[in-house]
C-alpha cells in the first residue's frame, strides 16, 4: 500500500520532501529509492515539460544508407597518435 500511495502522491504533484515527512522518513532520498517507481504517465509528463522549457525539437532521424560505397583519402600514419 505504501508503494501505491507514494507513487500516486508523486504523480499528483506532492513534493518529495513533504511526502517524506508524511511517511516519517528522515531523508527524501530514502523515500524515492525505496517506495517509488516511474510510470509511463510520469515519463510523458516529464518529456512534455522538457519540450516546453527548451522548445520542441524533432528527434534526429538516422542517415539514409546508400548502396554505393565511397572512397576516402584517409591514410594511416605509423607512430602518430591523435588525442
Q: Which helix (H) or strand (E) holds 10?
A: helix 2-11
What is the residue range of 36's domain?
A: 2-54
Torsion (CA) 68, 74, 79, 83 in degrees, nearest 10: -90
User: Which pLDDT tens digit goes with each residue over 4-14?
Assistant: 888 888 878 89
45 belongs to a structural domain = yes
Task: Give the start-end residues of each E strand in 26-83.
Answer: none
Q: Judge if pTM exceeds 0.85.
A: no
In a domain, 10, yes or no: yes
Domain membership flag for residue 25 = yes
In the chain, the number of structural domains is 1
Residue 26 CB partners (closer than 8 Å, separation 6+): 20
pLDDT in tens, 49-73: 888 887 766 666 666 655 555 566 6
Amino acid at each position: 500500500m505504501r508503494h501505491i500511495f507514494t507513487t500516486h502522491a508523486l504523480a499528483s504533484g506532492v513534493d518529495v520532501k513533504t511526502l517524506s515527512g508524511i511517511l516519517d522518513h528522515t531523508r527524501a532520498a530514502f523515500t524515492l529509492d525505496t517506495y517509488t517507481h516511474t510510470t509511463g504517465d510520469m515519463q510523458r509528463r516529464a518529456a512534455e515539460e522538457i519540450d516546453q522549457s527548451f522548445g520542441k525539437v524533432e528527434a534526429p532521424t538516422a542517415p539514409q544508407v546508400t548502396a554505393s560505397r565511397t572512397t576516402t583519402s584517409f591514410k594511416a600514419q605509423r607512430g602518430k597518435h591523435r588525442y
